[in-house]
Amino acid sequence: MDNVGILVLAEHKNGSIHKISYELLGKAKELAKELHEPISCLMVGPAGIDLKELNQRGAETVYYIKSDVFSNPEEYLYKKNIVDFINEHKPKMVLIGATNFGRSLAPRIAAALKTGLTADCTDLKIDEDGNLIQIRPAFSDNILAHIKTVTYPQIATIRYKEFSEAEIDVDAKINIVEMKPYMDSYPQSEILRIFSDEKDDITEAQIVVAAGRAIRKKEDLKMIQDLADTIGGVMGASRALVDAGMVSSAFQVGYSGNRVKPKVYIACGISGAPQHLAGMKESGTIIAINSDPSAPIFSIADYGYVGDIYEIIPQLIRDLSQEEPWN
């Protein structure tokens, strides 16, 4: 049997469909127009997830491998069920979101299927032979690599907020096929507790206040958090602070961290390395505070202030604490 169609691996979060699933469907619809092949969607998750919007946004068939064992992110169980599904249905292409879970899951799936994987794609195209061309930045975002996988299925992970969400067609046919798990237990591992440093999801924030290398010690991050709280935002950080152990990777903005598109991004003591800019350069309004007037961050900032963040941020907090949050 030849491999046919595009499979979008939908993701759930807190009992709802993760928005990256809609972005993947938006791109899948573009690809399907050129391929003239169907789009299907696979959700592996617990009971109670309303999936009809996946049909309304472009999936002709939504497969739902439903079991409460999928309430927790146990990679082996997810991988086993997804791999068995792919082996049975044989899609030509598989699109996976480059979320934290997707990045962990995708290489396991590709390895089990003995096929290739291109990670963190920023675009996808179809060549003259109907093959998927996977496009991703390389060499610190200085070039765009065009990659073609010669084995099937062709698998790619796509960065969150890279594509627009597929539009909703309320008249679309609802076609959800519920399935029993191929495997519903894995005795070799057990999830005892899930830890998270996240109060808020930085990728969904409308205001991000990010700290960089200018922060001298972990305790000084409190003023960054205080500024974020004052204006109704979320704290972020550059990779330097994550590598120094001052903050977890959940807060990291950049090519190897999270991509954000807030309405307002305030860069505090961030020089503006290409890896960081790749994660925030499409923010609505960028405000930069840095003591170095030649810092690259100023080249993309809408507003810039040259000065010491240890003087400027406390004054900002005092001035803004009398104002309404920037919502």
Q: How far apart are CA 290 and CA 156, in angstroms?
A: 37
CATH homologous superfamily for 6-179? HUPs (3.40.50.620)
Q: How far apart are CA 281 and CA 297, in angstroms?
A: 9
Q: How far apart are CA 98 and CA 91, in angstroms?
A: 19
Residue 278, pLDDT score: 85
Higher pLDDT, 256 or 269: 269
6-179 and 202-320 agree in CATH topology = yes
Residue 200, pLDDT score: 65
What percent of the chain lies above the pLDDT cut of 90? Answer: 76
Question: Could you tell me the pLDDT band of residue 82, with boundaries at 50, 70 and 90?
Answer: very high
Q: Mean pLDDT, to the nearest integer, of 78-101? A: 96
Q: Mean pLDDT, to the nearest integer, of 59-82? A: 94
Residue 11, pLDDT score: 96
279 contact partners, CB below 8 Å, separation of at least 6: 253, 254, 255, 257, 258, 259, 260
Q: How far apart are CA 309 and CA 312, in angstroms?
A: 5
Higher pLDDT, 275 or 9: 9
Architecture of domain 202-320: 3-Layer(aba) Sandwich (3.40)
Task: Concatenate the DSSP letters of all residues of 20-51 into one string.
Answer: HHHHHHHHHHHHHHHHT--EEEEEEE-TT---
DSSP class of residue 296 equals G
The encoded tokens of residue 101 equal 């879970």
Residue 324, pLDDT score: 56
Q: How far apart are CA 120 and CA 111, in angstroms?
A: 17
Choice among 93-97, 157-161, 306-310 with the minimum mean pLDDT? 157-161
Q: Are 202 and 253 in contact (CB under 8 A)?
A: yes
Q: Mean pLDDT, to the nearest integer, of 298-323? A: 92
Choice among 18-22, 175-179, 262-266, 277-281 with the minimum mean pLDDT? 277-281
Residue 195, pLDDT score: 66
Residue 201, pLDDT score: 80
Over its C-alpha atoms, the chain yields an Rg (Å, rounded) of 21
Task: Give start and end residues of each alpha helix (H) in the chain.
Answer: 20-35, 52-56, 75-89, 100-113, 221-230, 239-243, 274-280, 309-320
Q: Is 220 exposed, middle or buried (0-12, 13-18, 19+ CB in 10 A)?
A: middle
Q: Mean pLDDT, to the nearest integer, of 259-285? A: 93
Structural domain boundaries of the chain? Answer: 6-179, 202-320
Q: Mean pLDDT, to the nearest integer, of 132-145? A: 84
The model's pLDDT over 26-66, given as tens digits with 9 standing for 90+, comes to 999 999 999 999 999 999 999 999 999 999 999 999 999 99
pLDDT(99) > 70: yes
Residue 197, pLDDT score: 52
Question: Could you tell me the pLDDT band of residue 156, with boundaries at 50, 70 and 90?
Answer: very high
Among 12, 283, 326, 29, smallest CA distance to 161 is for 283
- Rounded to the nearest integer, the mean pLDDT of the chain is 92
The model's pLDDT over 159-216, given as tens digits with 9 standing for 90+, comes to 888 899 999 999 999 999 999 999 988 878 777 777 665 556 898 899 999 999 999 9
Estimate the share of the chain in helix, then strand, then coil, as percent rounded to the nearest 5. Answer: 30, 25, 45
